[in-house]
Amino acid sequence: MRLEDEPASEPRLVALATAVPRHFLAQEAVAEAASAIFAEAGGGFQHLAPVYRHAEIRQRRSCVPLEWFARPHGLAERNRLFLDHAVALLAEAATAALDQAGLAASDIDMLVTVSSTGIATPALDARLMARLPFRADVQRLPVFGLGCAGGVLGLARAAALARAAPGSRVLLLAVELCSLTFRRDDRRPTNIVATALFGDGAAAAIVTCRDDDPPGVPLGPWGEHTWPGSIDVMGWELDDEGFQVVFSREIPALVRQCLRPAVDAFLARHAVPWAGLDGFLCHPGGAKVLDALADCLELRPADLRHARAVLRDHGNMSSVTVLFVLRAAMDEARTGRGPGIGGRCLMTALGPGFTAGMLMLDLGR
């Protein structure tokens, strides 16, 4: 189903670029290093070692080399690294997105910056202004705490701002450096699973309603659902060492039990039948989460091929990951390689809250 009846003033995505840091972390090397590190911390690791094989991840990117993880690090050092690398990755992704759209930094009217893996005051967008020549009157909206849902909800916030100010161009920036949250002395299962799962990356997207901008991918409608009493399902805790991951082992079960009714309600609210969906673009929180998504949304293996490929090659980069999935689907649609996802697609991601973000877009053919 195409969005041909949408008015020209509806928001559309006219550019999407990604960036990754330079250090490769092969999963086999990570597993070997983790075995040595956690053995030094007192043992209790071997029964969890298979998580590296079962994660369906081949490699990831990291802003720090593998040997960094063997040494202790405090919050101050981690956050300095976060600021340096996050701004550099955002500059790379933003420059590429501007080039795609044929725009200059001075053409951007609003910045929406999504990140949940570091602390920045002044915010990352203000720091980025020291690198790229945005106008002094550009409006800034830093967003913290959406976690893995931030890619979908950040794109939705950018689209809402573009719709509210149709003459404006909105640049969405997302960056996550999950590798900096690693804890060498923490042998709890959640920390070990995180070492097998998380990677680093950034993305930048330009959203506009302007008729004089290039054609793009129509965006909307969008929405979210936050389940009551679920605040301890996923998130971060903070101490002197830095961020400490929180996620429940029940997340796949929660997805199977709770997500479908939330998606059904969202589609009904916007009068979109399931038969009106041509594809799905899901955040790959992990292999078990993807299996749960396939079960509860009745997805075919082909529906999750981009999500599984991004997980395999980049791991879980929190908010950024689903934007990599979208980029892969857009590339496939543009080049005609592979079966392609055409028409109206549903983007989904789950994050702290416990919250589901949903957004529909039209990739066309």
Question: DSSP state, 302?
Answer: G
Q: Count other C-beta atoms under 10 Å from residue 61's C-beta.
A: 20
List the catalytic residues. 148
Q: Count other C-beta atoms under 10 Å from residue 313's C-beta.
A: 16
Cα 22 from Cα 66, distance rounded (Å)? 12
Question: Exposed, middle or buried by CB within 10 Å (0-12, 13-18, 19+), for 102?
Answer: exposed
Those residues whose C-beta lies under 8 Å from the C-beta of residue 361, and which sit 6 or more positions away, are 13, 217, 218, 219, 220, 281, 326, 344, 345, 347
H-type alpha helices, the chain: 27-40, 51-54, 75-101, 124-128, 150-164, 189-197, 251-254, 260-269, 287-296, 305-314, 321-335
Closest by CA position to 297, among listed 265, 320, 274, 325? 274
Q: Looking up tokens 């990677």, which residue turns up?
A: 199
Question: Exposed, middle or buried by CB within 10 Å (0-12, 13-18, 19+), for 52?
Answer: buried
